[in-house]
Amino acid sequence: MKRYAKLHICARILEVLMGVYFLVGALPKGLDIDKFAVQIAAYKVMQSPNLLLATALFTLFVEVALGISMVVGLRLKGLTILAMQGMLVFFAVLILYAWRMYGLEDCGCFPFFKMSPPVSLAKNGVLIASGIFILWVRIKGNRAINKEENSESKSKKENASTVVTVAAKFLVAAILASAATAYAYFDIDWSSFKSTENDTNSISYAQFELYLPEGYFNLGSGLYLVPIMSMTCDECMGMVPEINELWQMPDMPPMVALCYEDVPGKMDTFRGDTQPVFPMYSLGDRAMLYYALIDEDSFRLSLVHDGKLVKAWDGHVPPYEEIMDSIAAVGGE
């Protein structure tokens, strides 16, 4: 009995430490859910901003709920540990997929610092092994203690007390997880999802009324050619010479680029490296707005008419003639 009592203490300490780990990892995700959604996008499993945010919020809820449950000792006959292990296995599969298929560099598991796939997989392995140890101790320890003490059935009063305790712990975990998720939800940049009239699936460009040194651009009125790019994207950098050529071609509509700039100063660096001749507008670090404007590729060239997307080219700059044909089609509507 003493042996298993010591193992119970070790298992409990390990359980609390694991719970604290999940809570510490969930904290920065809840404080900047948009950034966490961007990290999820790096897995290339989904690109829809709504799905990214829904996944980010659900992951936050689960991590907080599991963390609180392990800290307060809500075990639910092992279901808490099994749920944690299932989540870790699922994440490990995703990490392997994104690492092998798309060269994932940061799993996003612990936003305080960059965690490479090999490190993250090793960490998940340790957590899964720890969970197995906790389950083993609980199962074997309880059996040994029950045999040695030859305990009798609990009274109705004791059973009622146990139910109340479990219910209280469950309520604490649910409330705190819901509160963290609600905070993150209301911190989302919902203005990024403003849709066009009569088309809830298309984002409105009318929200961009821009006063730039190169002039005034109101994307809600008239015809515009709009490159959409990230200031840290090598693919986007490679498009600049072709966009420069388009900008100088005859009969081109006004052009202005919408640029995701996660860190101030990145657009200046981008300009210095690529020498664009067309106007550029920084979206700042509004990651969800950037993802709402693009599709699966980091670069998109959009033809916009009166605030509505009428044609898009993803991952490449089309020939001049193709653009002119699309412009002619808009004029014929």
Whole-angstrom Cα distance, residue 17 to residue 236? Answer: 43
Residue 198: the pLDDT is 52
pLDDT per position as a tens digit, 95-107: 999 999 888 888 8
The two structure tokens encoding residue 178: 């819901």
- The answer to whether the CB of 74 falls within 8 A of the CB of 177 is no
Domain 195-331 has CATH 3.40.30.10: yes
Dihedral (Cα; 322, 325, 330, 333), 10-degree rounding: -140
Whole-angstrom Cα distance, residue 28 to residue 255? Answer: 37
Dihedral (Cα; 91, 97, 98, 101), 10-degree rounding: 180
Q: Which helix (H) or strand (E) is 53 found in, with range? A: helix 49-72
Please give the average per-residue pLDDT across 47-72, as a whole number: 91
Sole residue written with tokens 């007390």:
161
pTM of the complete model = 0.77
Q: Is the pLDDT of residue 181 over 90?
A: yes
Q: Is the pLDDT of residue 200 over 50?
A: no
Whole-angstrom Cα distance, residue 308 to residue 196? Answer: 6
Residue 233: the pLDDT is 87
Q: What is the CA radius of gyration of the chain?
A: 27
